[in-house]
Amino acid sequence: MDIKPIGEVLGGIEIRELTDGDEPVIPMDVMCIIKVLDANGNPSWIIRTTNGMSEEEMLGIITAIAEQVKQSIMRSFQSDVPDEDEDGSS
């Protein structure tokens, strides 16, 4: 498998700028989770990383993202549940 610049591989896909507040940051490594369509039009997912990323780092990233998404879904669910009065009625 050839290694190419990320912009060449991902073509016209755009992402937000890399900043820390107003300050630019310097990218070191990347892990991309990319939704793709195969030749038959079926969607699937591919993960690509730069060579400098260890498996431990990848696991940490995936675990942290999963926790953030889980918390976001729980907050969304909790905000949809009406508050109950003391007698148990809504």
Q: How far apart are CA 86 and CA 40, in angstroms?
A: 56
Q: What is the pLDDT of residues 10-48, one digit of tens each?
A: 888 888 888 888 888 998 999 999 999 999 999 999 999
SS3 content of the chain, % helix, strand, coil (to 5): 35, 20, 45
Judge if pTM exceeds 0.75: no
Write down the pLDDT at residue 63. 96
Mark residue 35 as left, alpha or beta (left: phi above 0; alpha: psi -120 to 50; beta: remaining).
beta
Average predicted confidence (pLDDT) for the chain: 87
Name the residue type at position 17.
Answer: E
Instruction: Give how many domains the chain has, as a whole number.
Output: 1
Q: What is the pLDDT of residues 43-65, one digit of tens each?
A: 999 999 988 899 999 999 999 99
- 85 domain residue, yes or no: no
Write down the pLDDT at residue 43. 97
Based on DSSP, count helices (H) and strands (E) in the chain, helices before strands. Answer: 2, 4
- 15 domain residue, yes or no: yes
Q: Which residues form the domain of 73?
A: 6-80
